[in-house]
Amino acid sequence: FFFRIGILLFCSCNNTNTTSINMVASRSLAAAVTVGATLLCSNISPAAAFTSFQIPNPFAAVKTSSTSGAVALEDKLLAAIEANGKDKRLDNSDEIVSLVTQLEACSSIPRPAIAPQIYGKWRLLQTTNADTASPIQRKAVDTTKFDIFQDIVFNDEKQLLVKQIVKFSETNELCVDALASTSAYPLAELTDREGTGEILGLNILGVSLVGEEAAEDPERPDSRIRFVFDEGKFDFGGFSLPYPVPFRNPLFRDAVKGWIDVTYLSDRIRISRGNKGTTFVLKKED
């Protein structure tokens, strides 16, 4: 038995030099004897014996990547969104919701909020129609004739920005910038939001989760990007107009805070859930 283990370890090496081969064989047989002695003198399993001595374990099952299953789900999600029609970007399709949930259960890029893949330009493909979302936001998102992007970049002061861009045409757009904060790029101003945003019980600017309902998922570390809207402008071929919302007014500052939790991230697909209960599916731009 121990000799067979030594042969397995010996055959796993690709050395062609005879001296090297003899040395490897000797070490492999010695390792096998060591493991064998451990097995004889204790009740631990063969796999545990190999692990304890940091020796390649022939008993271990070959680990297969789960990315192939996730890629297949991504393909199905993209196909479902396309089949759903461009006029239904704001939709609660059961098939799309199911595929989103399945992808969120898959392994994806860890610590997504600070992963290199998070940065860059993302195109909005689909979002859910949550009753707690801002009516203005729902109307803008549902205007499917316009492309909507989210650009995660840095400004001249090296601050993290999340830019929301609505493209009316090649030369005309609306761009709203939000200062952002993660563990890699913390922003002291971005404390937890205190108010839900309701005005006299009415949903005017959207209703946010707060308090315990807004707590981060401990099983998804570094998944949250906090932000506060800071400024916006319309750009019509080089002629600019300010966006008519006083984001920097202290009376509104808490109401324009928010966050997105990145629940799935790959090189081409990002799924995020926002503080107002909406789910976003985005595709990375080339």
**Concatenated DSSP letters of 29-58:** HHHHHHHHHHHHHS---HHHHHHHTT---T
Label each residue of 163-178 as H, E or C: EEEEECCCCEEEEEEE
172-181 and 160-167 beta bridge pairing: antiparallel
Q: What is the pLDDT of residue 68?
A: 81
Q: What is the pLDDT of residue 202?
A: 59
Q: What is the pLDDT of residue 30?
A: 45
Q: What is the pLDDT of residue 208?
A: 85
Q: What is the pLDDT of residue 240?
A: 95
Strands (E), 155-265: 160-167, 172-181, 224-236, 239-242, 257-265
Joined tokens for residue 42: 């204790």
The DSSP call for residue 213 is: G
Average pLDDT over residues 176-201: 88
Residue 110: pLDDT over 60 = yes
Residue 11: pLDDT over 70 = no
Contact 112, 122 (CB under 8 A): no
How confident is residue 209, by pLDDT bands cut at 50, 70 and 90?
Answer: confident
**pLDDT tens per residue across span 36-94:** 444 444 444 444 443 444 444 443 333 333 578 999 999 999 999 999 887 777 777 89
Average pLDDT over residues 245-256: 90
Distance between CA 93 and CA 31 in Å, rounded? Answer: 58
Average pLDDT over residues 88-106: 89
- Quick one: how far is CA 16 from the chain centroid? 45
Which of 122, 126, 118, 124 shows the shortest CA–CA distance to 98?
126
Average pLDDT over residues 127-137: 59
% of the chain exceeding 70 in pLDDT:
69
Q: What is the pLDDT of residue 164?
A: 94
Q: What is the pLDDT of residue 244?
A: 87
Cα separations in angstroms, 242 against 173, 178, 225, 236: 12, 15, 25, 11
**pLDDT tens per residue across span 27-44:** 444 444 443 444 444 444
The DSSP call for residue 244 is: S
How confident is residue 286, by pLDDT bands cut at 50, 70 and 90?
Answer: confident
Average pLDDT value for the chain: 78
